[in-house]
Every structure is written in C-alpha cells, then in structure tokens.
Amino acid sequence: MTELLQKVRVIDPVSKIDELFDVLIADGYIQEVASHIADISPDTQIRDCRGLVLGPGLVDLYSHSGEPGFEERETLLSLLQSATAGGFTRVSILPDTSPAIDNPALVAQLQQKRHGKMKQREKINLAPPASPLPLLHIWGAITLDVAGKQMTELADLASAGVVGFSDGNPLENLALVRRVLEYVQPLGKPLAFWPSDRQLTANGVMREGPDALRFGLPPIPASAETTAIAAMLELVAAIGTPVHIMRVSTSRSVELIASAKAAGLPITASTTWMHLLLDTKAVKSYNTSLHLDPPLGNPSDVAALRAGVRAGVIDAIAIDHTPYSYEEKVQAFAEAPPGAIGLELALPLLWQYLVETEEFTALELWRALSTSPAECLGQKVSAILPHQPAELTLFDPQQTWKVERKSLYTLSQNTPWLGQQLKGHVVQTWC
C-alpha cells in the first residue's frame, strides 16, 4: 500500500528537523519527503495530516511482561498491543517473569511466540488496523532467577539473542557486580543496573522529605540511590565496561552522572516518565498507583531530572510499564506492590505537560523517547528521509480520550490517571 501524508509536522531527532512536509510511504519504506508531493500513483491513499505529528517510532528501554507466570496482569500480546497503541515500535521486557528469563530456551520460546503465534489481535477495534505489533527485545537475566546470587550463562544468553543483560532488581553484592562487568565485556551487549541500597531503603515507600512527614509514610533517603550509584561508577571506572544506569530519581544522582560523563566514563542513564511528571505532593491522594520504586522525588528532584534529560545527562526516558491486577493494588499504600502502567499514557502526558508548556521542545522529548533509548540498546533509528525504512509514529496532540478499561489494551489499570480525560493520542505506527 502507498500512503501520502500531507502537511504533517515531521519531528526527526536524527536530522534535527521540526517542519511541515508531505511524506510518501510505500512497501515499508519512505519514498519521498518534500514540501509538496504531486507525482503519485492513482492507488495512493491520501491523508490530510494538518495538526498531526510524525516522528521515528518510540523505543522503550524496559518494561515488565506478566507472561510467563502472571498472565492475569498482562499477556505478551496485550503488552505489545499496548505498546503499539502508545506509539512504540520497539519494546524491551525485563527478565523478572516467572520463571525468570535466565536461560536460552525461554528466550527462544518468547521470540517464537512473538513471531509465530500473534497474528490474532485482541480488541482489534481500538488501534488502527494498519499498525503492526512492535519489535520485541528481551533482557536476559544477570543472575539465576534474578535472585542476585549466581551468574547466568551470559554467553549462552547472548547467543540466544537477548538485547542485553539486566536483573531489573538491585544487585548489592559488589563482588558479583565486578565479575559481571568483567564477563560481559567481550560479549558486546548492553548491561543495565538499577543502583539501590536496600538496607538504606528498609521499609520505606516514599522519598524522604517534608511531604513524607506530612503524609505519615515511611521515608526512603536519597542516599539509598546515590551511594549505590557512586559504588557503581567506581567499578565502571576500574573495569571500563559500559553500563546503563536505570531508574534515576534524585537530583544528586544527576550530579553524579554528569560528573562521571565529564570524566569520560562509558555510562548512559535513564529515568522513568512518571518521575518527570509527578513529585511527592501527588502522594497526598494515597493512590497506590503512585507507590513506585524508586519513589516519586521531591520537587527539586523533578526539576533536576527534567534539566538532565534536556541536557542529555539523562539519556533516555523509560516507561517501566509495571502492570498489576486490581486485587493486588487495592491495599494500603505501603502494602501495595510498587509500579504503574504507562505504555499508552506516556507520550500524551509528556507532550501535554512538557511540550505544550514549552519546557521541552518537541525534538527534545522525541529524542528522549526514540533515538536515545535505541542508542542505549546499541541500536540505531533511521532518519525520516527517502529510501529509509518506515519505522514511524503518527501522533495527534489534540485528540482527547478517556483512560478507562475499554480504551486500554493493557489488561491492568493501575494508573493514577484512570477515569481522567487526556489530550493526545497515537493515530498509527509503521514498523
């Protein structure tokens, strides 16, 4: 099928372009990009795209799949459909499933399921039929059963095609971390760690500060994150293996990472989308979907994270989509498991609160959601130019919709925006 998108706003972080163009797409490739395209075949499908945004497909660094083990939270299919509806053309799942993704057989099983058994789409009426499922990338576990004790067969997982290695959980045995840095170096795969000192975290559920005192919730000091990051940076400096630092959430962490990058350490870093939008004041509602790990930061943390993303100190925005069933989340705030969904919500909310307020440019946000996450994975995203693959997301920043069960692909609804009206919706993806 040949499609002509007329007068669409092209946002391309690769070419650093934010302009109106006509874009001709055919046979999975971009055929032409010009201010006006008139020479088209009679069977070309023409779409008036005034007011719409076209950018490279979004890339999620890490999210959680319920399958295998917790299919009531999320199946692999519902996760991928949710990603498509949110504008993602690549999604990477963490290995903390049940069983954990710590062996080549399970990697092969999930890859086969994605490629061979997903032609039947659920809720087909929700997303445009032209939108395909995104590419699935799988993080291989660093330790058996993601228990933080014994290393997996990293070379075998690399041969099985994992995108990189991560437990998605803190690894506090620094001797083990050091060995992992040494073993992974020749494999040429990304290595992602979540630095967090669980002894300092203790039973805390909220970032330490005035709001934690006001709301009467057990606090987590910023040092639970920063001391672990400092230790990680020392190991990277000693071994030289590139590392990705996940879930950055404090202002001091941004400073440490900026200093390490200035010193030439081979690190990248990401924060999650909710840590850019909300701070500790939001916890006043005691909505359990605001119980996150790491917790929402104080206002100064949010300001530092936003500045860090704009400056490139924080390379990417991750979604960290974490589905839980209704029953699991209907508990006291401190007792509910931490995490929230986000694949279908991140782009509309980030655009609304960061781009429309002019705190971020459209290019800055799109870079942090597409090209930069891909680079953290050792991948590339093509520019929106003729003869390049059409891996694209078409977004309507003005379309309104209500966040409710019938409008979501994900099987879970653990989000503080449930029941609210949002502005911004993905129209179509090409993958």
pLDDT tens digit sequence for 177-225: 999 999 999 999 999 999 999 999 999 999 999 999 999 999 999 999 9
Per-residue model confidence (pLDDT) at position 151: 98
Per-residue model confidence (pLDDT) at position 73: 97
Query: Which helix (H) or strand (E) segment is 144 a member of?
Result: none
In DSSP notation, 192-225 reads EE----HHHHTT--EESSHHHHHHT--EE-THHH
Per-residue model confidence (pLDDT) at position 113: 86
Neighbouring CB atoms inside 10 A of 83's CB total: 27
Catalytic annotation, residues: 320
Per-residue model confidence (pLDDT) at position 119: 55
Per-residue model confidence (pLDDT) at position 118: 53
Per-residue model confidence (pLDDT) at position 130: 53
> Would you state the structure tokens that stand for residue 333, as one six-digit string?
């705030």
Per-residue model confidence (pLDDT) at position 150: 97
Integer Cα distance of 72 and 70 in angstroms: 5
List the beta strands (DSSP E) in 176-300. Answer: 192-193, 206-207, 219-220, 243-245, 267-272
Residues 6+ apart with CB under 8 A from 430: 25, 28, 57, 89, 130, 131, 132, 390, 391, 392
Phi-psi region of 358 (alpha: psi -120 to 50; beta: other; left: phi over 0): left
The structural domains of the chain, with segments of one domain joined by +, span 57-383
The β-bridge partners of 151 are 143
pTM listed for this prediction: 0.96
- Whose tokens are 């993602």? That residue is 88
* Homologous superfamily, domain 57-383: Metal-dependent hydrolases (3.20.20.140)
Query: Which residues of the chain carry a pLDDT beneath 50?
Result: 117, 122-125, 127-129
pLDDT tens for each residue of 130-183: 589 999 999 999 999 999 999 999 999 999 999 999 999 999 999 999 999 999
Instruction: Give first-to-last CA distance, the chain, whole Å.
Output: 14
| Helices 299-311 & 251-262 angle (0-180, nearest 10) | 30
Per-residue model confidence (pLDDT) at position 117: 46
Q: 42 preceded by cis ω (within 30°)?
A: no
